[in-house]
Structure 1
Amino acid sequence: MTDTTIDRTGYGEIAAPFLFVLLWSTGFIGAKFGLPFAEPFTFLLWRFGFVTLLLLAMALLMRAPWPASPVQALHIAVSGVLVNALYIGGVFCAIYQGVPAGIVSLIAGLQPLFTAVVAARILGEKVYPRQWVGFGLGLVGVVQVLMDKISFVGGSPLGLSMAIMALFGITAGTLYQKRYCALMDLRSGGVIQFAASALTMALLAPTFETMQVRWTGTFIFAMAWLVVVLSLGAITLLNILIRRGEASRVASLFYLVPPVTSLMAFLFFDEQLGVTALMGMFVTVTGVALAIKR
């Protein structure tokens, strides 16, 4: 998927954000399937390695342009490490360390507010009062959706630190990419981003983990899903959205991830979805609508 694809489709501008949210929300489901069979850094080393090879083949076959200078390539690599290694790695480690998924989602749910505050100062983006109301409503809605699933029992200080690191990674990565990598080619840029992330995992995995993997059918399915749907699909869409819109508006879409994930868990894992959660979904959608409306 490219910018041209979105331009050619009549409803691309409307569909792309919601498709991103839908695909991104499946990442938590994939992690739930795959983490019992591999430690987080090892899991992500294989995932980022596979994605790098696929994107490299695509970039070479399509003769994609590469960065014009080493400095530009370095900026692309840094943005990839922030979004992939720090954010995804932090989420995986937090869940692996026993931090309840509700707490991880709640910490990550602070990202739109953090991004809006920093974007106004660093990128000079104007955030209107209506948008601040939207960000506030979005956070309230996320808390309502996760209220029944939030548990402060379990986990470890290390796991909570990893969740906070994930929050920093996605916030900094979104802003960094908007400022320094807005014009990167999504194919060659993706190769650099995922190769840098794989290298980061290659340094961390042998240092902190046994690197053992049980290649079961469930693990292979989870790996394939995260490689194709998340890394090639959702992250490419995220890069396109960052390029085409304000960082604060793009960040507000992350408020929709916990409600959509909860709905998927209800459909596929028979998890409860009470009245409070349904009300929270409505509040979240209202908040995001206020935040992204131009």
Structure 2
Amino acid sequence: MPWVFVLVWSTGFIVARYGMPYSPPITFLTWRYGLSILCFLVWVGLSQAQWPRGAAQWGHLAVTGVLMHAGYLGGVWAAVKAGMGAGTVALIVGLQPVLTAVWLTARDAQNRVTARQWMGLALGFGGLVLVVHGKLGVGEINPLNLGLAVFALLAITTGTLYQKRHVQPCDVRTANTVQLAAAWLVSLPVAWWESEPVVLHPHLLGAMAWSVLGLTLGGSSLLYLLIQRGAATAVTSLLYLVPPCTALMAWLLFREPLTVLTLVGMGLAVFGVLLVVRPTR
């Protein structure tokens, strides 16, 4: 399941490349959330899945939905729209495992990060830098897109830690429905302010279809299950593998250059993740 999650999640920037030119970011995401909610409601109805119990659980799920969907995705897509390259965004958001490990070390004595895991986090981040360094454009960063990217980083890091701490185990289908509904309510007013028109191009329709069926119904559900079942540091370290996989996909689909340094970085990222997720004796 972790490796399937990495492959699915890695398609996010590929989808952005296809769909971003034809729609403003928050409008696209609002439609994505709405269509995903409809799909989940059909899935829940057919499977008769149990809804979360208690107002507190619904509230916790709503908070994680706002952080991990509206906050993270909105920040990333808006940063790319504001001129930041996808590689730069990936590098900034790639700091999430380090922030998670630092927080756990400072706050939770039962989830101390071992020396081996710190080494894995460092190697993973080093590999991430090698993968994306060639895409760091000169002059592409400004206060607006940098602030949006950092906001996305803080949103997904906080959302991951919050879910691990406060959300009780429940059905992933109904949990995702609640999370997406909260993200939709937050994103809808922002989408109304976007003035750029939506162009119904085949690339946009294809990007929307995969965003709903692959990334939200598939990727977000897998992320929820991984956080629910695994340690936060181990789960977030898997995100180190997303930029290398994205680079490989871009090479296959768009013939973007795949250099020796990129391949070395991919190897370092994989080895670093293995050090983090390997069980401690």
Which bin holds the TM-score, normalised by the shorter protein?
over 0.9
- Between the two proteins, the alignment pairs up a number of residues equal to 278
Q: Which residue of 1 aligns with 2:165?
A: 179
Q: CA deviation at 1:219?
A: 0.6
Distance 1:234 1:37 in 2: 23
Partner of residue 101, structure 1: 86
Alpha-carbon separation, structure 1, partners of 2:269 and 2:47: 40
Give the whole-Å Cα distance in 2 for the aligned partners of 1:179 and 1:121.
15
C-alpha separation between the residues in 2 aligned to 1:170 and 1:263? 24
- The answer as to 2:39 corresponding to 1:39 is no
- What letter matches 1:246 in structure 2? A
Q: In 2, are the aligned partners of 1:100 and 1:151 still within 8 Å (CA)?
A: yes
Give 1:217's aligned residue: 202
Q: 2:271 aligns with which of 268, 286, 289?
A: 286
CA distance in 2, matches of 1:31, 1:266: 16
- Does the 8 Å contact 2:57/2:168 carry over to 1? no
Q: Give 5+ residue unaligned stretches, structure 2.
A: none
Deviations 1:96-125 (A, max 9, x none): 000122211110110110011112334441
The answer to whether residue 70 in structure 2 is matched with residue 85 in structure 1 is yes
Q: How does 1:18-167 map to 2 (within 5 A)?
A: 18-123=3-108, 124-167=110-153
What TM-score does the superposition give when structure 1 sets the normalisation length?
Answer: 0.92
| CA distance in 2: counterparts of 1:226 and 1:137, whole angstroms | 30
Say whether the 8 Å CA contact 1:87–1:169 is kept in structure 2.
Answer: yes
User: Judging changes above 3 Å, is the alpha-carbon distance between structure 1 residues 122 and 51 closer, same or farther for their aligned structure 2 residues?
Assistant: farther
Q: Distance in 1 between matches of 2:266 and 2:53?
A: 44
CA distance in structure 2 between the aligned counterparts of 1:191 and 1:286, rounded to whole angstroms: 35
2-structure distance, mates of 1:125, 1:134: 16
**Which letter maps to 1:135?**
L
Q: What aligned pairs does 1:228-239 form with structure 2 within 5 A after superposition? A: 228-239=213-224
Maintained 8 Å contact 2:33/2:184: yes
The offset of 1:212, in angstroms, is 2.8
Identity of aligned residues (%): 45
Deviations, residues 29-63 of structure 1 (Å, cap 9, x unaligned): 00111111110110001000000111012112222
2:180 is aligned to 194
The Cα of 1:276 is off from its aligned counterpart by 0.9
Q: Distance in 2 between the 1:121 and 1:105 partners?
A: 25
Q: Which runs of 4+ in 1 moved over 6 A?
A: none
- Once the two structures are superposed, what CA deviation does each residue of 1:236-288 show, in whole Å capped at 9, x if it has no partner? 01111111110000010000001000011111100001111111111111111
Distance 1:94 1:204 in 2: 15
Note the C-alpha offset of 1:25. 0.3
2:245 paired residue number: 260
What root-mean-square deviation, in Å, do the aligned CA atoms of Structure 1 and Structure 2 show? 1.2
**CA apart distance, 1:155:** 4.2
The answer to whether the Cα contact below 8 Å between 1:42 and 1:211 also exists between their aligned partners in 2 is: no
Give the letter aligned to residue 51 of structure 2: W
SS in 1 for 2:10: helix
- Per the TM alignment, residue 181 of structure 1 is displaced from its structure 2 partner at its CA by 1.4
Unpaired segments ≥5 residues, structure 1: 1-15
- Matched residues in 2 for 1:63 and 1:271: separation? 45
